[in-house]
Each structure stands twice: as structure tokens, then as C-alpha cells.
């Protein structure tokens, strides 16, 4: 514990060494410090385990309104007994005593100090000191601790309205602990307590999810990929049709996809692209392809629409491009589902591009984000063949979790768009990776903008 | 993806010569994800393109191939029979034009088999049947039916006793009162003609695609089955039938053909297809150097047949594998048969140089500048609500872009401004320490065709002494220091800002946004207890303009 003391602490310790048990009020007087300084000083010393604070409660008695009046004029029953020495007629007594006559008469009769006949009252043999008179005098103008009074004599007064008032008083007694008693204050300099806790300074920083996004973008660039951009609102043609998803496919339904209300794209693609894509659908899926379905605008459900559009426009023999951005799914928001999240999606185009290369790029990518325990499983996507998924081992959960999906674009996708070379494609949600990095179990945390978390989130992996 | 529950012990029985561990380890390499396990029970997620994997019979067939216990194509053995016939009347043409079917005899049906058949039926209905629209199946007790059958139509008053009922209902009543009637009645639209399958005694067998008749209910006493599939496309109906036939055969039934005729209908062939694939394509695509016999054996492990013809491989594909479109699908079958776990990842050297998009670079640079100015980065959804965007922010909606049928009330419209979201963030953080300074860059949307998407930048500062001068100074420094852009501010009015404390942000005589002290009424709306100042500008008109 720090051996550096503030002046306030020093003054309190010195005073307590002279006078070992003091109330804060006493300390104010003995040290000349303000009540606020004393309060803080005691708090500090308590934290350092140098001061004991004993709180005790005591009951304090003072006279109430009726008690004070009785102190001056005597208790109502005393006044009645005094009057009876000269008067005896009931109506006279009543007139003289006013409102206290009733209670006074009641008490006198109950204790057998008086005798009444039809309208006369006569004195019997009252005690020289009436109950309560002793206590009344003893308290007087003071406030006394209940322990200083005769409890029998007091109890009668306590039962009567506003004769005595009882207050509960909390008192603090400050004393030094044993270790404080042996302190030698001469050793401490006038320095500050450098070991004390201080308030946290809030740091301005990038959003944790943005950090992960930037990191992933960087990795893709260093692996030789160039970033392309595309719109978040897309025609169904590029989001679905161009990717060989039939128009009656369940994934295209309202309950999975956000359609823009009443918006239908005027221009979706070149006539050639539309013709070839629709032919591929008709031939392979055997249904009536409808251009109006392709015109429906959606919030993109994946970034693959951006990539395929780019490839259809540039028809490269060789390329490495990626697109990164928000995608949308009409799902119920939960700890593992958001309606809007980020996706990364990359493609390699080349005449010799093959599945093992695709797996190799994946392995390298994961290695660079710090994930080395991975395996590949076959899976299904409508627009790639063969298709794989990566499983990565989550140390914290102790299980394998699905991460990116990948595959080679089907000829049914590439041929109609004039893409002649194999296209390796893969992608997945960035939030999943960010959750691993920040040890989150609830994906909503990323978009809550909870300042406490934004200011303090730290990477765990 | 659909999920199905299976038991290891019954899989083991069906596969033969495989341990539980071997099965569990191999499931993922068939493309099946293990969702959860509980002792003998295992829940498996399978791909919608493989409906045969919805039963343990189908999975056993695949697993036998993968483990090399039984390989090669599964041949359907269908005994030609003249006993069973369906004649189709032309009045069904406009309602549900095609019917097909098969008979399966002498099988053992226990509760588990019935349950599995029902699961398969539902998954087929949902997936390739497109919720019964394209095709739907009815499975019946053969011995309760007198052949030949007629596929014809009747009117909506026609009555029969449907499955799970004890009294006769009219078709109209079925459509209005039963669950399936309500769910699938739309498929028959407003047609006055309703499709029915009747037997030789005019007894109703089925009302496709809605419900079977009670009389043909399959129970554990059933020995022989009649399966019918109806649909709007002959090929789709036969595809569906081929899956059911394959599964029933592997469940121990012997199959017999059903003759179908009339109104462009014909008996199903359920024939194998031949497809040629070049070994070069296989090796190039997979990055391997497999010899032909290895390719053939890999295809056989995927339960296809393959023979060498010249330098090509001729593949025989059973009818139920209609997920195979072309040679590339066969490449995948080779990969699966070869084993994905045997593919060693390789890196081919990049022939290209990577490049970050200049927009990303500028956004990152802006972000860094704002952090230097003490502002914390926030991220909000593009999809938001009218409450946040307009009501709370006291803004008048211009043209709103809504999404249809959102499951979340908080996500119904696309944002046309970032600032209201930041105010909402402050509102949710009133208990956190001040000053609170946030910024966000993101896309805002405005209606048009195509929809316009613009990148915007907004910042906000909330604390006891927040004022116009402070926020103008921040925006000015951010743009000057970060991008050498000079801004001017000109008096304006804006519903979100306090009158007389609000300005247009102007660059080169062009207004690119707004800045000021947030209106006290709005601060109250958000229950914020300190003054707030903020701005929002278009990046396409400022920083990104120069790209």
C-alpha cells in the first residue's frame, strides 16, 4: 500500500493519534479541515486500511411542544391538583384548565388521587412527585441520550402526545487501525499518490468490425487481388438469374430476400446477356423464364452479383478480384442472424485455375488471419461445381464451425455471359471472423454501438 | 438446408461392414453436415439437390460407395406389368396435366419407414416440387385400390373422405377447412375443375396436389404400395418418381411398372442417361493427375457407372441423379469419390498485383483523421425504420424506399441519411460518460431508376458545452488536414437543427451537406440530456469527387 499521504490524510492521522476515537465533526474542529475534506480523507484512509469507521446508532430524547408547556406551567394533572386546593366545582375547573381538563381528570381519577360526586371534585392523597415530573425536569431544554433517563418515568411521557420526541442519531467514530498507529509520517514526502487508481480516458478508435474488414481487405490485396465495388441494390437478374438460380427457387422468396417495394429495374443487362442467361435457365431448369421476375430489385443477398457482373463486363482471361460489402437477408434478427451484414467474395480467373489452388488460397488466407486448424468439406451451391466449404476450429467453443463457401463457377453460369476460363470463387460473412477475433457470442453487438463496448473491445485471438 | 434425423444403428445395418465411427467420419465427405448427435441419433443437414439423402436408405447407398462396400450405379429393377394402368382424361390438361406412378410390392413397413417416407415426401414437395407446385407425390396402400385408375377432374361439390378424416367432405370444404387445403389450395387457383384420381370402382384415391383419400392410408399392415406423382411438367414428375422408386427399392420393395396413357401422358421410363467426360477436364479442374482407372473407380464410388471409350469416359447416370447437368457435375462426382480429404491444397503464384480500391483508401484515410480528432467510429444498418429516420429526427420523408415483408420492424426502409442513426446511438448511451463523439461513413439511398446510392459522412458531438463553433471546426479540420478541401458555411434552415444555428456546408459554391446544433425538441425526443451538434455531407461531392 502506498506510503504517500495527502495533507488531508496526514492531518487526520495526527489528530487521531492524539485523540484515538473521534466523530467526523470532532475531526473538523481538531484539524480545521472542511467537512468535505474530512469525508474524502476518511474514505482514502479506509481504502488504504488505515482507518476504522464504526457506525453506531443512539436514541436521543428532547421535549415536544406539550412537554415544553408542561415544563413552564406544570403537567396538566399537577395543575388540576393545585387548583383543587382552592376550587372544587367541576365547571370552574373545566373553565380554568380548558382543553387539558379532560386528560388531567382522567389520569387523576384513574390513579385515585381525586374523588368525584355529581358536580364536585375533592382531593384524596396524591404523591408529592407525579410520574413524569422528574424526567421532564431532567431533560429541560437539553437533548439527552435515552440511557441517561429513568426508563419507567419516561415511558409514561412517551405514550402522551408530543410531550417528548425521540430521535435516532447515527454517529461515526473514526479510529486508526493498528498499522496506522505505527506509521511514521515524517518519511512521506509532499508528493502525490502515484499508485492510486485514476479515471479511464476514452479513446477514439476505428469500429472493431471495421478493423477486421480493413484487415481482411489488406490480406486480399497482398494475395494479389484487386478490389471492385458494386451497388447494394441489384436487379434479380444479377443477384439470381445470372447465377443460375431458377426463378421459382425457394431462396428467391420474400421470406428470404428483401425486395424493394414497387421498384423494377428499367435496364438490367445487354439483350445478348438476357437472351443467353434465359436460354440456360429454360434448357436446364425447364420452366417459363420471365423477364419481369429478373427486373425485380433486391437488396443484394451476396456480393457474388458484383463479381459476376464485373466478369461479364470484362471477360478476363486472367484476373484476381474481390468485392467486400454489405449484404441482406430477410431473416429474424437473433444472436447469430442479422438482416444486414458484411461479406467478402473473391475470384481467381485463369486457364489453369483449379480446385486445389482454391483450397491453397483459402489455407493461406486463414493462416494470415490467425486460423491454422481448418478442413474442407463438400457442399452445395447453385452456381458452383465442384463446391466446398471450410470448417475452422473454434478453440473457445471447442468445435468446428463453418466459415467460407467456395467452388468453381458452373459452365451454366459462365458460358452464357461469355466467360471462357475457369473461375474459382469463394466468400463468406466477415462478422463470423470478427466474432472469433473479439470473442463475441452475439453478432448484434457489432451494430448496437454500445459506447462502453466500442471504447473497450479488445481482440482475443 | 433441410435437416433429417437418422440412427447410426440402422445406417450400420443398411451399409454393412462399417463401424459407427467410420460412418460419422465419412458423413461430411458425402456433403452431409452433422447438426447434432445424441447417442444413436444423428441430425444431418443435406443439400436440397440430393433429396435421396433425406432417408437412411439413400444415405446408406451413398456411404456404401464412398467406403467402397458397394460401388457403381444403382439400377432400378422394374418388372413390366400390365395389371396396373392409369388413363388420363383431357380435362386435366389445364389444371394439372401430368401423372406418373409406380407399384412397390412386398416391403416391410414399420413406423420408422413410414416416418422416413413422409419426411422424404415433404422434402421432395418443398424442394424440387417447389411447394407441390411443380410436382407432388401420393403414396397409397395398393391393396385398397382397384385398377385401372382414371386421372380426371370433377367440380368443387364432389365429395370423398380425405386422409385423417372419418366423414366425407366436399372439395370446397377440404380447401376451406383443412390445413393442407388452406396451404396449397392456391395452386389450383380459381379453376372450377379439380384434379382427381379414381379407381375402377369410382372410389377416390387422391385429390392432387392437396390430399389423399382416407381409404388408401398406409399403415404398418401395408405390404404393397402404389405411388403416384402429378405435376405441371412431365420430366419433373418423373424426376420425383425416380427418387421415390430408388429409395423404395433399396428399402426392400420390388418394383412393378404402371402403364399411363391419354392426354399426352405416357408410362415413365426412369431410364439411365449417358454422359461423356474428358479426363483432361477432370484433372485440370481438380489440379490432379489421375489415370483413367482411378477416375473410373472414383466415379463408381460416387455410385455412377463409367467405362473408357477412346480418350473419353462414358458415364452412366441413374434417373434419380437429375442434379447432374453436365460434365462439370461429373468432375465433382470424381472429387467426392476420390475424397476431398485427399486433395492437398496448393498455391499457384499470383500473376496479378493486388490493389485496394481508391474509394476504400480515401474512406480509411477519412476514418483515421476523424479518430485523430477524437471521434469514435460507429456502424449502423442501412435498413432502418421510419421512427428513427423521420419521426425522432423531425424530418419530412421525401421518397421512401421500403422493402417488402421485413421480419423486423426496425428494418423496413433504406436510410436516406446517416445522422438520425447517430442520434439514436447517443440516445441509447445516455448513461455513458461524456463527451460522446461519433462518426460514420456509409451509403445512403434515394429513389430513382436505378436507385441512387451515395456515400455520406456524418459526425456528432454531445456534451455540456457542445456548440456550433466546435463542430464546424472539426469538419473544417478534417477536410482541410486530411484532404486539403476548404469549406464555407452559409445560413440555412433544416428541421433537425436549431434555427439560427444551422448552415449549409459549401465547397466551391456547391452545397454538399448541412451542419449545426441539433434542435432541442429532437434532443428531447431522443431523451438526451446534453446539447448535441453534428453534420452530414456527401462524399461523392467532396472527397471521392477527385478520384
Over the stretch A198-251, which tens digit does the pLDDT of each residue have?
A: 777 888 999 999 999 999 999 999 999 999 999 999 999 999 999 999 998 878
Q: Is A231 in CB contact (< 8 Å) with chain B?
A: yes
**In terms of pLDDT, which residue wins out, A254 or A99?**
A99
Tell me, yes or no, whether B270 lies in a domain.
no
Nearest chain B CA: its distance from A344 CA (Å): 14
- pLDDT of A188 over the 60 cut: no
% of residues, chain B, pLDDT over 90: 58
- Using a CB-CB cut-off of 8 Å, the residues of chain B touching A412 are 325-326
A226, containing H or E segment: strand A226-228
DSSP B394-436: TPPPSS--BBSS-S-TT--EE-S-SHHHHHHHHHTTTTS-S-E
Would you state the pLDDT for residue B227? 94
Contact list, B31 vs chain A (CB under 8 Å):
377-380
pLDDT above 60 (res B68) = yes
Above 70 in pLDDT, residue A134? yes
Q: Identify whether residues B231 and B312 lie together within a single domain.
A: no
Residue B348 and residue A209: Cβ atoms within 8 Å? Answer: no
**A-B C-beta contacts closer than 8 Å:** 260
- pLDDT tops 80 at residue A254: no
| Mean pLDDT, range B131-137, rounded to an integer | 90
Nearest to A380 among B49, B335, B379 (CB): B49
Mutate to test the interface with B, among A258, A295, A365, A382 (most CBs of B within 10 A): A258
Mean pLDDT, residues B43-52: 88
Tell me whether residue B132 is in a domain: yes
pLDDT of A187: 57
B71 — pLDDT class (breaks 50, 70, 90): very high
Same domain, residue pair B312 and B198? no
With an 8 Å Cβ cutoff, are A214 and B450 in contact? Answer: no
CB–CB contact B285 A227 (8 Å): no
What pLDDT does residue A220 have?
Answer: 94
Q: Is residue B440 part of a domain?
A: yes
Q: Is residue B72 part of a domain?
A: no
Give the best residue of A339, A347, A363, A411 to mutate against chain B (max B CB count within 10 A). A339
Write the CATH number for B415: 3.30.930.10
Residues B253 and B364 in one domain: no
| pLDDT reported for residue B261 | 87
Query: A256, A208, A232, A214: which is closest to A448 by C-alpha?
Result: A208
The minimum CA-CA distance between B204 and chain A, rounded to whole Å, is: 31
Asked whether residue A304 carries a pLDDT value surpassing 60, the answer given is: yes
Q: Give the number of other Cβ atoms within 10 Å of residue B486's Cβ.
A: 10
Pairing of strands B532-538, B452-462: antiparallel
Is residue B46 within 8 A of residue B4, CB to CB? The reply is yes
Average pLDDT over residues A308-315: 96
Do the Cβ atoms of B346 and A356 come within 8 Å?
yes
pLDDT score of A3:
65
Q: Among B123, B407, B431, which would you mutate to test the A interface (most chain A Cβ atoms within 10 Å of its Cβ)?
A: B407
> Which of B54, B377, B402 should one mutate to test binding to chain A, selecting the residue with the greatest count of A CBs within 10 A?
B377
CA dihedral of B216, B221, B225, B230, whole degrees rounded to 10: 40
Q: What is the pLDDT of residues A117-128, one digit of tens each?
A: 777 887 777 888
- Chain B residues touching residue A320 (CB < 8 angstroms): 350, 352, 354
Q: Are residues B517 and B395 in the same domain?
A: yes
Within 8 A of B233 by CB-CB distance, chain A residues are 286-287
Please give the pLDDT value at position B536. 97
Q: Does B331 contact A386 at a Cβ distance shorter than 8 Å?
A: yes
- Interchain contact A266–B (C-beta under 8 A): yes
Q: Final residue of a domain: which of B23, B47, B67?
A: B67
For residues B127 and B232, state if they share a domain. yes
Picking from B376, B383, B429, the nearest residue to A328 by CB comes out as B383
Mean pLDDT on B81-110: 90
Q: pLDDT (tens digit, 9 = 90+) per residue, A402-429?
A: 899 999 999 999 999 999 999 999 999 9
Considering CB atoms only, which of B331, B356, B381 is closest to A221? B356
| % of chain A beyond a pLDDT of 70 | 97
Same domain, B62 and B84: no
State the cell numbers at A79.
Answer: 395543575
Work out the minimum CA distance from A351 to partner chain B, whole angstroms: 9
Q: B309, B339, B369 — which closes off a domain?
A: B339
DSSP string, B282-324: HHHHHT----HHHHHHHHHHTT-EEEEETTEEEEEE-TT-TT-
> Is there a contact between A363 and B383 if contact means CB atoms under 8 Å apart?
no
Closest residue on chain A to B331 (Cα): A386
Higher pLDDT, residue A189 or B390: B390
The Cα A152–Cα A155 span in angstroms is 5
Look up the domain containing B421 and give its range.
Answer: 358-538
Question: Would an 8 Å CB–CB cutoff place A23 in contact with chain B?
Answer: no
Q: What is the pLDDT of residue B213?
A: 84
pLDDT digits (tens, 9 = 90+) for B184-226: 878 887 788 888 898 888 898 998 888 888 888 888 888 899 9
Q: How far apart (Å, rounded) are the C-alpha atoms in residues A262 and A280? A: 28
In this model, does residue A191 exceed pLDDT 70? Answer: no
CA distance A67 to chain B (A): 51
Q: What is the mean pLDDT of residues A250-259?
A: 85
| Chain B residues close to A202, C-beta within 8 Å | 376, 433
For β-strands B383-384 and B413-414, DSSP reports them as: antiparallel
In chain A, positions 345-404, which contact chain B (CB-CB < 8 Å)?
350, 352-357, 359-364, 375-380, 385-388, 391, 402
Do B322 and B220 fall within a single domain?
no
- Percentages helix, strand, coil for chain B, rounded to the nearest 5? 35, 30, 40
Question: Which one is predicted more confidently, A250 or A15?
Answer: A15
pLDDT confidence band for B382 (50 / 70 / 90):
very high
If you measure CA to CA, which chain A residue comes closest to B353?
A224
Q: B472 and B381: one domain? A: yes
pLDDT of residue A129: 84
Triad B425, B430, B432: Cα angle to 5°: 100
B372 and B431 in a single domain? The answer is: yes
Q: What is the ipTM of this complex?
A: 0.90
Facing residue for B340 by CB, picked from A248, A328, A377: A377
Contact of A114 with chain B, judged by CB distance below 8 Å, is answered with: no
Residue A189 pLDDT grade (very low, low, confident, very high; cuts 50, 70, 90): low
Average pLDDT taken over every residue of chain B = 91
What DSSP string describes B47-103?
Answer: -TT-GGGGSHHHHHHHHHHHTTSS-SPPPP-EE--SS-EEEE-GGGTTT--EEEEEE
Confidence of residue B114 (pLDDT cuts 50, 70, 90): confident
CA distance A403 to B46: 17
Is there a single domain that holds both residue B8 and residue B127?
Answer: no
Average pLDDT of the residues in B293-312: 92
* Residue B331 belongs to domain with CATH number: 3.30.56.10
Measured over the CA atoms of residue B13, residue B15, residue B17 and residue B18, the dihedral's sign is negative
Q: Each residue of A23-76: pLDDT tens digit?
A: 888 899 988 889 888 988 888 888 888 898 888 888 888 888 888 888 888 888
In a domain, B273, yes or no: no
pLDDT at residue B160, as a whole number: 84
Residue B125 domain flag:
yes
| Strands B265-266 vs B259-262: parallel, antiparallel or unpaired | antiparallel
Task: Say yes or no to pLDDT of B24 above 60.
Answer: yes
Which chain B residue's Cα is nearest to A320?
B352
Q: Taking a C-beta distance cutoff of 8 angstroms, is the pair B195, B210 a contact?
A: no
Q: Measured over all CA atoms, what is the biggest interatomic distance in chain B, rounded to whole angstroms?
A: 94
Of residues A162 and A279, more confidence is placed in: A279
Mutate to test the interface with A, among B346, B372, B400, B444 (most CBs of A within 10 A): B346
Encode pLDDT of B435-462 as tens digits. Answer: 999 999 999 999 887 899 999 999 999 9
H, E, C per residue of B175-187: HHHCHHHHHHHHH
Mean pLDDT of A431-436: 90
For B152-194, write each residue's pLDDT tens digit.
898 888 888 888 888 888 888 888 888 887 888 788 877 888 8
Q: What is the mean pLDDT of chain A?
A: 88
- Specify the pLDDT at position B362: 93
- Spatial distance between the Cα atoms of B458 and B538, rounded to a whole number of angstroms: 9
pLDDT tier for residue A2 given thresholds of 50, 70 and 90: low
The reported pLDDT for the residue numbered B413 is 95
Question: B84 and B181 share a domain?
Answer: yes
What tens digit of pLDDT does each residue of B414-433 get? 999 999 999 999 999 999 99
Domain boundary pick from B19, B38, B67: B67
CB–CB contact A250 B130 (8 Å) = yes
Q: Is the pLDDT of residue A253 over 90?
A: no
On whether residue B99 sits in a domain, the answer given is yes
Instruction: Give domain status of residue B279, yes or no.
Output: no
What's the pLDDT at A281? 94
Contact A224 B354 (CB under 8 A): yes
Q: Measured between alpha carbons, how far is B24 from B342 in angstroms, rounded to an integer?
A: 18
For chain B, the domain total comes to: 4
What are the pLDDT digits (tens) for B407-416?
A: 988 999 999 9
* pLDDT value for B155: 85
Closest-CA distance, B17 to chain A, in angstroms, reads: 24
Q: Is the domain of B303 the same as that of B379? A: no
Q: How far apart are CA A76 and CA A68, in angstroms?
A: 12
**What does the pLDDT read at residue B341?**
93
Mutate to test the interface with B, among A213, A220, A263 (most CBs of B within 10 A): A263
Amino acid at each position: 500500500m502506498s506510503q504517500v499521504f495527502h495533507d488531508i490524510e496526514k492531518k487526520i492521522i495526527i489528530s487521531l493519534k492524539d485523540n484515538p476515537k473521534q466523530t467526523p465533526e470532532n475531526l473538523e474542529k481538531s484539524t480545521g479541515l472542511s467537512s468535505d475534506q474530512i469525508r474524502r480523507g476518511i474514505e482514502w484512509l479506509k481504502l488504504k486500511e488505515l482507518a476504522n469507521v464504526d457506525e453506531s446508532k443512539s436514541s436521543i430524547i428532547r421535549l415536544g411542544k406539550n412537554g415544553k408547556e408542561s415544563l413552564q406551567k406544570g403537567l396538566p394533572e399537577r395543575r388540576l391538583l393545585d387548583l383543587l386546593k382552592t376550587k372544587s366545582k367541576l365547571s370552574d375547573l373545566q373553565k380554568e384548565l380548558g382543553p387539558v381538563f379532560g386528560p388531567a381528570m382522567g389520569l387523576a381519577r384513574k390513579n385515585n388521587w381525586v374523588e368525584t360526586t355529581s358536580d364536585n371534585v375533592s382531593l384524596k392523597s396524591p404523591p408529592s412527585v407525579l410520574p413524569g415530573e422528574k424526567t421532564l425536569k431532567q431533560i429541560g431544554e437539553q437533548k439527552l441520550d435515552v440511557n441517561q433517563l429513568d426508563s419507567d418515568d419516561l415511558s409514561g411521557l412517551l405514550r402522551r402526545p408530543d410531550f417528548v420526541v425521540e430521535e435516532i442519531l447515527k454517529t461515526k467514530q473514526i479510529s486508526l487501525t493498528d498499522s496506522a498507529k505505527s506509521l511514521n509520517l515524517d518519511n512521506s514526502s509532499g508528493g502525490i499518490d502515484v499508485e492510486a487508481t485514476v479515471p479511464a480516458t476514452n479513446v477514439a478508435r476505428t469500429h472493431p468490425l471495421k478493423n477486421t474488414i480493413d484487415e481482411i481487405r489488406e490480406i486480399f490485396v497482398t494475395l494479389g487481388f484487386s478490389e471492385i465495388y458494386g451497388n447494394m441494390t441489384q436487379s434479380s437478374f444479377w443477384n439470381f438469374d445470372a447465377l443460375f438460380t431458377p426463378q421459382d427457387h425457394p431462396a428467391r422468396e420474400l421470406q428470404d430476400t428483401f425486395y424493394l417495394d414497387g421498384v423494377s429495374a428499367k435496364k438490367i443487362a445487354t439483350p445478348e446477356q438476357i437472351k443467353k442467361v434465359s436460354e440456360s435457365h429454360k434448357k436446364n431448369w425447364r420452366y417459363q423464364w420471365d423477364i419481369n421476375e429478373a427486373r425485380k430489385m433486391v437488396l443484394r443477398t451476396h456480393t457474388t452479383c458484383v463479381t459476376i457482373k464485373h466478369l461479364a463486363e470484362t471477360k478476363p482471361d486472367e484476373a484476381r478480384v474481390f468485392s467486400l460489402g454489405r449484404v441482406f437477408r430477410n431473416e429474424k434478427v437473433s444472436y447469430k442472424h442479422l438482416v444486414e451484414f458484411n461479406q467478402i467474395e473473391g475470384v481467381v480467373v485463369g486457364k489453369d485455375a483449379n480446385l486445389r489452388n482454391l483450397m491453397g488460397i483459402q489455407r493461406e488466407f486463414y493462416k494470415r488471419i490467425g486460423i491454422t486448424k481448418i478442413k474442407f468439406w463438400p457442399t452445395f451451391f447453385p452456381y458452383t461445381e465442384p463446391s466446398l466449404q471450410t470448417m475452422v476450429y473454434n478453440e473457445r467453443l471447442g468445435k468446428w464451425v463453418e466459415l467460407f463457401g467456395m467452388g468453381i463457377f458452373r459452365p451454366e453460369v459462365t458460358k452464357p455471359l461469355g466467360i471462357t476460363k475457369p473461375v474459382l470463387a469463394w466468400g463468406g460473412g466477415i462478422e463470423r471472423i470478427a466474432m472469433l477475433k473479439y470473442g463475441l457470442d452475439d453478432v448484434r453487438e457489432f451494430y448496437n454501438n454500445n459506447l462502453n463496448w466500442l471504447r473497450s473491445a479488445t481482440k482475443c485471438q | 438446408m433441410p435437416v433429417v434425423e437418422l440412427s447410426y444403428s440402422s445406417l450400420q445395418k443398411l451399409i454393412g461392414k462399417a463401424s459407427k465411427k467410420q460412418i460419422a467420419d465419412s458423413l461430411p465427405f458425402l456433403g452431409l453436415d452433422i447438426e447434432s448427435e445424441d447417442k444413436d441419433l444423428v441430425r444431418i443437414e443435406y443439400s436440397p439437390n440430393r433429396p435421396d439423402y433425406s432417408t437412411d436408405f439413400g444415405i446408406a447407398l451413398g456411404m456404401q460407395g464412398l467406403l467402397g462396400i458397394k460401388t457403381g450405379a444403382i439400377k432400378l429393377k422394374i418388372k413390366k406389368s400390365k395389371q396396373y394402368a392409369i388413363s388420363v382424361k383431357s380435362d386435366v390438361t389445364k389444371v394439372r396435366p401430368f401423372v406418373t406412378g409406380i407399384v412397390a410390392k412386398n416391403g416391410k413397413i414399420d413406423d420408422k419407414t413410414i416416418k422416413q417416407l413422409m419426411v422424404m415426401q415433404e422434402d421432395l414437395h418443398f424442394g424440387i416440387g417447389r411447394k407441390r407446385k411443380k410436382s407432388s407425390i401420393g403414396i397409397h396402400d395398393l391393396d385398397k385400390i382397384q385398377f385401372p385408375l382414371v386421372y380426371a377432374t370433377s367440380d368443387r361439390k364432389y365429395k370423398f373422405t380425405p386422409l385423417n378424416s372419418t366423414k366425407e367432405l366436399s372439395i370446397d370444404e377440404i380447401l376451406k377447412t383443412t390445413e393442407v387445403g388452406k396451404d396449397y389450395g392456391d395452386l389450383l387457383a380459381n379453376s372450377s375443375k379439380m384434379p382427381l384420381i379414381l379407381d375402377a370402382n369410382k372410389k377416390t384415391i387422391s385429390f392432387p396436389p392437396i390430399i389423399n383419400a382416407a381409404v388408401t392410408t398406409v399403415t404398418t399392415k401395408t405390404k404393397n404400395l402404389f405411388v403416384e406423382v402429378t405435376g405441371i411438367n412431365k420430366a419433373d414428375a418423373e424426376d420425383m418418381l425416380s427418387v421415390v422408386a430408388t429409395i423404395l427399392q433399396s428399402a426392400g420393395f420390388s418394383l412393378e411398372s404402371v402403364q399411363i396413357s391419354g392426354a399426352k401422358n405416357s408410362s415413365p421410363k426412369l431410364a439411365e442417361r449417358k454422359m461423356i467426360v474428358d479426363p483432361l477436364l477432370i484433372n485440370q479442374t481438380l489440379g490432379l493427375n489421375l489415370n483413367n482407372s482411378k477416375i473410373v473407380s472414383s466415379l463408381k464410388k460416387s455410385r455412377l457407372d463409367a467405362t473408357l471409350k477412346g480418350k473419353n469416359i462414358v458415364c452412366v447416370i441413374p434417373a434419380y441423379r437429375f442434379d447432374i447437368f453436365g460434365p462439370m457435375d461429373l468432375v465433382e462426382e470424381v472429387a467426392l469419390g476420390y475424397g476431398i480429404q485427399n486433395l492437398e491444397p496448393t498455391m499457384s503464384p499470383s500473376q496479378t498485383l493486388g490493389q485496394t480500391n481508391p474509394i476504400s483508401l480515401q474512406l480509411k484515410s477519412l476514418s483515421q483523421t476523424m479518430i485523430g480528432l477524437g471521434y469514435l467510429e460507429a456502424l449502423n444498418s442501412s435498413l432502418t425504420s421510419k421512427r428513427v429516420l423521420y419521426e425522432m429526427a423531425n424530418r419530412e420523408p421525401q421518397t421512401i424506399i421500403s422493402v417488402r415483408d421485413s421480419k423486423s420492424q426496425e428494418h423496413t426502409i433504406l436510410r436516406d441519411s446517416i445522422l438520425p442513426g447517430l442520434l439514436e446511438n447517443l440516445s441509447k448511451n445516455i448513461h455513458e460518460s461524456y463527451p460522446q463523439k461519433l462518426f460514420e461513413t456509409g451509403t445512403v439511398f434515394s429513389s430513382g431508376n436505378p436507385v441512387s446510392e451515395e456515400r455520406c459522412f456524418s459526425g456528432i458531438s454531445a456534451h455540456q458545452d457542445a456548440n456550433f463553433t466546435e463542430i464546424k471546426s472539426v469538419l473544417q479540420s478534417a477536410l482541410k488536414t486530411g484532404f486539403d478541401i476548404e469549406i464555407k458555411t452559409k445560413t440555412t434552415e433544416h428541421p433537425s437543427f436549431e434555427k439560427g444555428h444551422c448552415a449549409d456546408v459549401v465547397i466551391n459554391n456547391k452545397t454538399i451537406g448541412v451542419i449545426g446544433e441539433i434542435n432541442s425538441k429532437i434532443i428531447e425526443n431522443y431523451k438526451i440530456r446534453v446539447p448535441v451538434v453534428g453534420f452530414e455531407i456527401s462524399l461523392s461531392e467532396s472527397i471521392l469527387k477527385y478520384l
